[in-house]
Structure 1
Amino acid sequence: MPAGTLLYAQSGGVTAVINATASAVLQAARTKKVRVLAARNGILGALREELIDTTTLSTAQVKALAHTPGGAFGSCRLKLKSVEADRAKYERLLAVLQAHDVRWFLYNGGNDSADTALKVSQLAAEFGYPLTCVGVPKTIDNDLAVTDCCPGFGSAAKYTAVSVRECALDVAAMAETSTKVFVYEAMGRHAGWLAAAAGLAGEGRDEAPHLILFPERPFDEADFLARVDAVVKRLGHCVVVASEGIRAADGTFVADAGGGKDAFGHAQLGGVASHLAGRVKDVLGHKVHWSLPDYLQRSARHLASKTDVEQAMAVGRAAVDCALAGQNAVMPVIVRTADEPYQWHVDVAPLSKVANHEKTMPKGFIRADGHGITAAARRYLAPLIAGEAYPPYVRNGLPDYVVLPQATVRRKLPAWAG
């Protein structure tokens, strides 16, 4: 058995397949006979020394993680600043790692998490502590640099495309005497990947979604309303997909939830669909409905993409391999080698090339009129939502998801006062 312990932590907003990554990490570590602790509620649990001993989990529980949504060990939104600004937190974290003989740290998250893992590796080097830090990719926004796609996105994209297609059929059926316009809000602060995925729901100008609003393009209300009205007059109804992060020409968000900023310093968004629906009703007079899927987009494990599940587990296994091989400050990434048939493999990239680098959609993925996706976007997106990976169902008709015990190991340090 390799000397030392591996610490795994989940970060930020969870996905439908982050637990698939966790399952793969635990299974790979068990094969290598490495003990794994899991931080309860992510980096916050590590700071508080709230660590779950995963050796107490049964093989069945570990395998069931692969089809269970949410974050099985808990996650949190806690951004650590620079080592200089947050040195006390970093040193506390390092003390916890040392106290539990943690020699490998796997941080499963997005851009900010990659940055944290990189900084922890640098601090460990400063103190001469032998620690290998590996970032593990996760985000439904698909905005991580270097990797072709990000585990979590494919399933959220599949949910989005399916939901828009189903809602479009409903709207078309009722348009004669009821709803004329339907607005669907997709997550995406700066990158319109999920909004673009909605474009897979239909093909051609007469199939929904009829209009997609991307954060990469300035929002023009007058133009938007004119386009909606034109579609209604041509087809009798109009389905709109709007990214939550669309902005006016001056850079301000079209809709702001008014909730201030989150732990990462981001404005709390949400509500763009209701805002647009109100404008359509007030200006055009059309009956309108809107939807804010919100958490549904990232938790819909019942509609996960098989491709996404396979990639989520692949990066988990690769992360363990990287850690045990001593590949410090890296992240396993997905490399696409062919669109059709879709082919991919996992490679390794330095965290320095991932951390705080945001990947927005290529210009060639947005249609010339700014309100739809191109053939290139379809070639990129379609394989990511391919295949079904349904969870097992039980007699009550619900998925058989696992809930893990959250008991933590005995603390070895004084309580954290941070």
Structure 2
Amino acid sequence: MERNVIVGQSGGPTAAINSSLAGVYRTAKDRGAKKVYGMLHGVQGLLEEKYIDLADHIKTELDAELLKRTPAAFLGSCRYKLPEIHENRDVYDKIFAILDKLDIEAFIYIGGNDSMDTIKKLSDYAIITGHPTRFIGCPKTIDNDLALTDHTPGYGSAAKYIGTSMKEIIRDGFCLEYEKGIVTIVEVMGRNAGWLTGATALSEGEDCEGPDLIYLPEIPFDLKKFGDKVRKLLEKKTSIVVAVSEGIRTDDGTYVCELGNSIDFVDAFGHKQLSGTASYLASFIAGEIGCKTRAIELSTLQRSASHAASRVDILEAYQVGGAAVKAADEGDSGKMVVLQRLSDDPYQCGTEVKDVHKIANDEKLVPRDWVNKEGTYVTSEFISYVRPLIQGDVSPVMVDGIPRHLYTPKELSHK
């Protein structure tokens, strides 16, 4: 590379997103980039000319290793939707003027579906204007819903944490006995795709029965059938644990969480803020059956648990970051790096690049035949798909008994 690289992070954070950032930085420097800039809060921050020179923060190999082990977006994230080109060219002119000022050869954006929409629009504008900067998407999302890639960095670590947490929740339910039993509803992230909720089945093994029921958003949710199912299970055992996606909906498309509360917040991409599914279902079961209930939301814990990160996930995140720089250096633009599974036993995975126009604003859902006929559990095919992605551990660098992270850039610090 003869000029500079700029990289940004966008969308929901993960335990692996900074490993991709480390991969971008190291590969760019190894390929001769003069400077590697980091956008602060993604393209939204770039529009305000907020960026840093990553060399000021990644000074040693220890810094790079700490960055790989640091959860959430080191550079800060955003959920900023670029307007369509014909709606507001001024925004694009401003971005490209900044890129010219910084002498940017490659623009790398680490993110999910909405972030790939940004790469699509910027690369299209570069084509229209004949601008030489190349734009590459680097996949990241715990939701695992990006099209054309076998899986996404961030998902494996989240799945590992969810499977582990579910096992501990099930164990906790054995401790106390209640006359009418206890029903625990565990709410997992997942608006339209149930990849994360399905991962609760990883808790099943010789020492654990796993959750009793799993409900994904791909299958319409029937409240009455759910109540009947729980009632029958309580006739056989005293502790029931149910996993539900935050985005499960009734047959008419109503989110279950909307049955209890209205949803007021909608982000720039039109996504409703979903919360309260487990709470509503716990109240419903308590009212219908009269048993003790608990509602647990894993919430942001499932995307920031770097202490339980998957080694496979961290290594692949670093790999796709490097592959994004390599693709840009070799002339690609308007592409996203994808992971291609080469083998299950032994597990092997490689990278290639795909046209971002075939990825942006699309969603990869859990196949219907990976869910049982009743829609209440995932199949062995789902487990076989996920299990290789959670293998191995990444030992944190411990200081005074607590994991050490790479210091947050002072420009992002709240102090």
The two structures have a TM-score, normalised by structure 1, of 0.94
Aligned 8 A contact 1:61 1:404 in 2: no
Percent identity over paired residues: 39
Q: Report the counterpart of residue 8 of structure 1 in structure 2.
A: 7
Aligned residue number for residue 387 of structure 1:
392
Runs of 4+ in 1 over 2 A off after TM superposition: 60-63, 85-88, 175-179, 256-260, 404-408
> Cα offset for 1:394?
1.1
- Quote the Cα distance in structure 2 between the aligned partners of 1:134 and 1:179: 53
- Amino acid in the other structure paired with 1:401: H
- Give the alignment partner of residue 127 of structure 1, picking from 126, 129, 132: 129
Is 1:319 aligned to 2:324, yes or no? yes
Render the CA deviation track for 1:287-345: whole Å, top value 9, x for unaligned: 01111111101000000111111110110110111111111111111111222221211
Instruction: Provide the rounded CA distance (Å) in 2 between the counterparts of 1:95 and 1:174.
Output: 64
Secondary structure at the counterpart of residue 219 of structure 1:
coil
Three-state SS of the structure 2 residue aligned to 1:174 is coil
**Which amino acid is the alignment partner of residue 144 of structure 2?**
N
CA spacing shift, 1:281–1:87, aligned 2, 3 Å: same
Distance 1:235 1:81 in 2: 54
Question: Which runs of structure 2 are paired with 1:178-327 in the superposition (5 Å)?
Answer: 180-202=182-204, 207-256=209-258, 258-327=263-332
Aligned pair in 2 of structure 1 residues 168, 249: CA closer, same or farther (>3 Å)? same
- CA–CA separation in structure 2 for the residues paired with 1:248 and 1:304: 34
Question: Among 92, 97, 100, which residue is 1:90 paired with?
Answer: 92
Cα pair 2:42 2:76 within 8 Å, conserved: yes
Shift of 1:178: 8.7
Q: 2:402 aligns with which of 394, 398, 407?
A: 398
- Separation (CA, whole Å) in 1 of partners of 2:411 and 2:222: 52
Partner residue, 2:382: 377
User: 1:404 and 1:315, CA in 2 relative to 1: closer, same or farther beyond 3 A?
Assistant: same
1:51 deviates by 1.2
CA distance in 2, matches of 1:286, 1:384: 37
> Does residue 158 in structure 1 map to residue 163 in structure 2?
no
Is there any run of 5+ residues in structure 2 with no aligned partner, and where?
none
1:361 partnered with 2:361: no
Between the aligned partners of 2:95 and 2:368, the Cα distance in structure 1 is 41
CA RMSD of aligned residues (A): 1.6
Report SS of the residue matched to 2:241: strand
The reply on whether 1:350 has 2:352 as its aligned counterpart is no
**Superposition TM-score, scaled by structure 2 size:** 0.94
Match of 1:255, SS state, is helix
Residue 52 of structure 1 aligns to a residue in which SS?
strand
Q: CA offset at residue 184 of structure 1?
A: 0.5
